[in-house]
Amino acid sequence: MMPEQPGMPTATRDWQTANRAYLALRLEDLKSRLQNSQAEPARHAEVDAEASARIRFAREAADAARRPPALDLLTSLFGLTPLEQDVLLLSVALDIDDDFTEIFAAGDSRQRRACMALAFAPHRNGAGTMPALDTLMPGRPLRRFALVASRETPEHTPWSLRAPLYSEERVLAFLRGIQIAERRIAQVVHALDGGLEAPGHSKAIAEVAETLDKNARGWPLIRVASDSYEDAREVAKAGIRRAGLNPAELDLTLLAERRSEWEELFPLLAREAALGQMAYWIGTGPQKNIDLALTALARLVVEELEAPLLIHAGVSLSSEYKSSTVWLPRLGRRAQREAWQMSLSSVAHSVNGELDHIVQQFDLGTADIARATRLAAQKAEMRSHQSESAIVSGDDLWAACREHSQLRLDDLARRLDPCFVWDDLVVPPTIMAQLREITAQVQQRAHVYESWGFGAKLARGRGISVLFAGGSGMGKTMAAEVIANELKLDLHCIDLSGVINKYIGETEKNLRRVFDAAERSGSILFFDEADALFGTRTEVRDSHDRYANIEVNYLLQRMEDYSGLAILATNRKQALDTAFLRRLRFVVDFPFPDFEHRRRIWQRVFPPEARLDQLDYNALARLEVSGGNIKTIAINAAFLAASAGSSISTLHVMRAAAREFTKLDRAITSAEFGPYAEVIRR
């Protein structure tokens, strides 16, 4: 029995006392009926009035504590008949009352456990053995939900009339009023802790709870439709709790590893859902397209597991499964801000003034916000080395958002690590002013859209789309890195070979992945050689032209809807679709560097640590090459000097430049190389 604890509420202690008394009286009643049936097997024994009154009194005492006795609750949960109740009681009888040993051994000294034949005796009433055999069929509750156990003996097969019955530890504890964990499913089932109930998700949470309430007697299947697996999981948890149930996750990956045990595990999972008042979230993991094996297992769980189930709508199920779908909209900026405030309330922070900027930059769901907050708190603790006084700063939260929402598009994008700053960039003043204006627009979005109310006027087109046009090596990529470095954002270069696909619809699908992931992560997208994607639409001559134009049309729409910063680079501006150019907020033309700009580039291209002779920068600036070529020449000159064991001289640079000119099919002339031309030709 569960010992009474000093701190236990009075109602709980009263229920425990009444429940123990009720269970004892039910066993006493069963014992009496078994004894009478053995003494007078032809007549069905009747419970005397006094015993019946005591049972009724104990039940009423338990009900007074607002809970029925555990046996009655279990009977209601699984729909047990009186015969099945007796079988259940007999399976646990020896664990509670030693007096049953004599009853089990009566007439057969070898019998040490109860069997189905013994349980059926008080219910025979002239009937044959068929009702008893039906009770032990796999589809009946006793076996269907693993409420009792049976084992093979030398004389009897399991579940035969004379096979011994054993108690299930979980069921025995439940009847005694004790909740314990079922050890055999502990590896595949995990209790889910609380999460954020974002205001933007309140309607979806209420729908989940209402569906569970309406189907309290059945086993509802609820599909939560959301772009974010994690948000769908959070809403499922909150809805299950609001319905008065306990949320738990059924890990399909771990369940798949125990394939040989499925026949045993499924009844245990169904039983645990009922006894523990649980609903299962079917955990498929955050991947959008789970593999075929897990999809098949998800379908099997939905078909076989008799329990309330919730699953992400991204998992493909047959239409034959009756389910309710709850649609989860993406959180708007205001709802995200409220979610951030709720999440930050659990940690010491100083980010109120920067929260709008964070909300504008990172499009995160509730689960992402909660994890980013925890990560920021860890960063603050590591920085302060004193957990009691660790205060989360805006920089901590910004870094946590970047780290948590790293763009995972290995096959479509590569992450660039920005290493350049404004001083590294040598461009005309007008170009520099444009680049700083682009940066300022990203930084001031929260102020303009929220504080000044422009966001209410712009349902679309909040993003900043920029075109960098100019020849190869003019500084387009460097400028993108400078902006990313200044904004403290990740920069991802889109791999066009992975995006463009010859199969119809695949290019759009890849682009959707790119834009969706970029919006969530706040990353800057950099499309190099953008004319390959954003080219001019053509006259439709065949199906290929039509689908090519569909791709361009989709890009035009997606760029307009995109809320982040997208930078497109091209050296063929004239090849871009004119409708697309009209939708760009900035067009920056990077000119070929003149003499003065080339001189400044040469002065900055060599690192401070490099050993330099007195370089003739005027002579180097006469070389009419782009910034990208200058960088290549400088590196090759450094290797020439290192091989010679000397400092980098003007001659080393001129020799490296000659190699670059040869590569570019350009002549080495005295106009550019001056007196070094003759030296190089020797």
Assign 88 a pLDDT band (cuts: 50, 70, 90).
very high
- Contact (CB, 8 A) for 654 and 676: yes
Tokens at 648, concatenated: 């980098």
Residue 115 has pLDDT above 90, yes or no: no
Determine the pLDDT at residue 388: 57
Residue 189 has pLDDT above 90, yes or no: yes
Amino acid identity of residue 449, one-letter, is: Y
Q: What is the mean pLDDT of residues 456-485?
A: 86
Burial label for 238, CB within 10 Å (0-12, 13-18, 19+), is: buried
Determine the pLDDT at residue 41: 42
What is the Cα–Cα distance from 522 to 564, expressed in whole angstroms? 7
In sequence order, the 6+-apart residues with CB closer than 8 A to the CB of 556 are: 577, 579, 580, 583
Tokens at 434, concatenated: 């444009």
Share of residues in the chain with pLDDT > 90 (%): 37
Q: What is the mean pLDDT of residues 525-544?
A: 63
Q: What is the pLDDT of residues 491-530, one digit of tens each?
A: 988 866 667 665 556 777 778 878 877 877 788 989 887 7
Crossing angle of helices 82-96 and 70-78, in 10° steps, is 140
Q: To the nearest 10°, report the CA torsion of 651, 655, 660, 661.
A: 90
- Contact (CB, 8 A) for 118 and 169: no
Chain centroid to Cα 679, Å, comes to 65
Read off the pTM. Answer: 0.71
Residue 474 has pLDDT above 70, yes or no: yes
Determine the pLDDT at residue 368: 86
Nearest 5 degrees, angle CA 111-CA 158-CA 137?
120
Number of C-beta neighbours around residue 287 at 10 A: 10
φ, ψ for residue 324, nearest 5 deg: -110, 140
Determine the pLDDT at residue 607: 92
Determine the pLDDT at residue 43: 44
Of residues 554 and 252, the one with the higher pLDDT is: 252
Assign 538 a pLDDT band (cuts: 50, 70, 90).
very low
Of residues 31 and 237, the one with the higher pLDDT is: 237
Q: To the nearest 10°, report the CA torsion of 168, 171, 175, 179.
A: 120
In sequence order, the 6+-apart residues with CB closer than 8 A to the CB of 610 are: 638, 648
Assign 544 a pLDDT band (cuts: 50, 70, 90).
very low
> How many angstroms separate the Cα of 682 from the Cα of each of 188, 639, 668, 676?
77, 21, 12, 10
Dihedral class, residue 385 (left if φ above 0, else alpha if ψ from -120 to 50, else beta):
left
Point out the least confidently predicted range of 157-166, 178-187, 305-314: 157-166
Nearest 5 degrees, angle CA 357-CA 363-CA 364?
110
Domain covering 183-327, topology: Rossmann fold (3.40.50)
Determine the pLDDT at residue 611: 93
Collapsing DSSP states into helix, strand and coil, what is residue 310? Answer: strand
Residue 469 has pLDDT above 80, yes or no: yes
Domain covering 333-404, topology: Helicase, Ruva Protein; domain 3 (1.10.8)
Determine the pLDDT at residue 100: 82
Q: What is the mean pLDDT of residues 651-656?
A: 95
What is the Cα–Cα distance from 105 to 102, expressed in whole angstroms? 5
Q: What is the 3-state secondary structure (H, E, C) of 368-405?
A: HHHHHHHHHHHHHHHHHCCHHHCCECHHHHHHHHHHHC
- Contact (CB, 8 A) for 308 and 212: yes
Point out the least confidently predicted range of 215-224, 565-574, 576-585, 608-617: 576-585
Point out the least confidently predicted range of 66-75, 178-187, 326-335, 445-454: 445-454
What is the Cα–Cα distance from 66 to 161, expressed in whole angstroms? 38
What is the Cα–Cα distance from 448 to 33, expressed in whole angstroms? 82
What is the Cα–Cα distance from 436 to 483, expressed in whole angstroms? 8
Of residues 316 and 182, the one with the higher pLDDT is: 182
Domain covering 595-681, topology: Helicase, Ruva Protein; domain 3 (1.10.8)
Q: What is the pLDDT of residues 206-258, one digit of tens each?
A: 999 999 998 767 788 999 988 788 889 999 999 999 999 999 999 998 999 99
Collapsing DSSP states into helix, strand and coil, what is residue 164? Answer: strand
Every domain of the chain with CATH number 1.10.8.60 lies at 333-404, 595-681
Assign 283 a pLDDT band (cuts: 50, 70, 90).
confident
Burial label for 111, CB within 10 Å (0-12, 13-18, 19+), is: middle
Number of residues that make up the chain:
682
Assign 131 a pLDDT band (cuts: 50, 70, 90).
low
- Contact (CB, 8 A) for 401 and 522: yes
- Contact (CB, 8 A) for 325 and 353: no
Share of residues in the chain with pLDDT > 70 (%): 83
- Contact (CB, 8 A) for 47 and 32: yes
Number of C-beta neighbours around residue 456 at 10 A: 9
Tokens at 194, concatenated: 């609380």
Q: What stretch of H or E contains 526?
A: strand 524-527
Assign 409 a pLDDT band (cuts: 50, 70, 90).
low
Strand order in the sheet with 464-469: 413-416, 491-494, 524-527, 565-570, 464-469, 586-589
Q: What is the pLDDT of residues 389-402, one digit of tens each?
A: 678 988 999 988 88
Partners of 126 in beta bridges? none
Instruction: From 650, 638, 635, 640, select the one nearest 611 (Cα to Cα).
Output: 638
Q: Fill in the DSSP letter of residue 430.
A: H
Assign 540 a pLDDT band (cuts: 50, 70, 90).
very low
Say which CATH superfamily domain 414-589 falls into. Answer: P-loop containing nucleotide triphosphate hydrolases (3.40.50.300)
What is the Cα–Cα distance from 61 to 56, expressed in whole angstroms? 9
E strand residue ranges, 450-522: 464-469, 491-494
Q: Fill in the DSSP letter of residue 185.
A: G
Q: What is the mean pLDDT of the chain?
A: 83
Point out the least confidently predicted range of 84-93, 449-458, 623-632: 449-458
Q: What is the mean pLDDT of residues 183-205?
A: 86
